[in-house]
């Protein structure tokens, strides 16, 4: 008898028992990494809403219970997948904090747009943005990651009033430009030379970050 829609939804959202499923081996990093890699591909190609624990398991060649075993719920799989995809951008706090304070805005712009300009890192980030725009659960995961791993460390390195607000304003500027350039592909910003974009946006970021 076919599974009801509620049963299907339950398989993707309800946490499973964390015991080791049949066929799983403790410390099988290869299996875990394969599941995570296929999850990134599924979320990238299908978006958050159309990706399921079952589809990830099928792509990885494992049972759905094994995906739950390693990661938990669909939201937790997504969180693990985007943290890997977002990892290059998470090095921004170190790049921003190093060097002359007068160049803080330019360093932040150059570092993060460098991540966007590389095809290898751009595609996973595009998938994250598309999922976050269309699904609140995905947006909540991204919001927590950006706040906890990116903005708070940047803010902690700023010796200015309202550091977290300033870091968020800078992030909003950069995400807005990324949406227009890489997602919406609005002209002329989509084809503008990236050094020209950085030169124009850096003074605004400097005002936010260094005051």
| Banded model confidence at residue 18, pLDDT cuts 50, 70, 90 | very low
CA distances from 104 to 10, 23, 149, 152 (A): 47, 51, 18, 16
pTM metric for this prediction: 0.69
CA distances from 4 to 11, 67, 130 (A): 11, 21, 29
Mean pLDDT, residues 123-142 taken together: 81
Cβ–Cβ under 8 Å, residues 154 and 89: no
- H runs (alpha helix) in 51-181: 53-60, 64-71, 74-86, 92-97, 104-117, 119-134, 136-145, 152-156, 163-178
Distance CA 151, CA 164 (A): 7
Structure tokens given for 150 = 């990116």
* Residue 97: predicted pLDDT: 80
- pLDDT tens readout for residues 154-190: 878 878 888 888 888 988 898 899 889 998 999 999 9
* Residue 15: predicted pLDDT: 46
Structure tokens given for 44 = 């990238």
- pLDDT tens readout for residues 71-116: 999 989 988 888 887 788 788 888 788 888 888 899 989 988 988 8
């Amino acid at each position: 008898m076919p599974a009801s829609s509620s049963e299907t939804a339950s398989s993707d959202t309800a946490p499973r028992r964390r015991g080791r499923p049949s066929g799983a081996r403790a410390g099988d990093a290869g299996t875990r990494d394969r599941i995570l890699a296929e999850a990134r591909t599924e979320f990238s190609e299908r978006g958050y809403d159309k990706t399921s624990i079952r589809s990830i398991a099928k792509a990885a060649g494992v049972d759905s219970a094994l995906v739950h075993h390693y990661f938990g719920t669909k939201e937790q799989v997504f969180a693990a997948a985007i943290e890997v995809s977002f990892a290059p951008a998470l090095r921004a706090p170190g790049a921003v904090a190093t060097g002359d304070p007068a160049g803080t805005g330019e360093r932040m712009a150059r570092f993060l747009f460098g991540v966007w300009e590389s095809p290898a890192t751009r595609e996973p980030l595009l998938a994250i943005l598309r999922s976050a725009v269309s699904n609140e659960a995905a947006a909540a995961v991204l919001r927590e990651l950006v706040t906890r791993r990116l903005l708070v460390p940047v803010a902690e390195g700023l010796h200015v009033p309202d550091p977290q607000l300033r870091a968020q304003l800078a992030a909003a500027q950069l995400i807005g430009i990324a949406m227009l350039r890489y997602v919406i592909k609005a002209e002329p910003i989509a084809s503008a030379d990236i050094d020209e974009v950085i030169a124009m946006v850096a003074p605004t970021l400097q005002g936010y970050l260094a005051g």
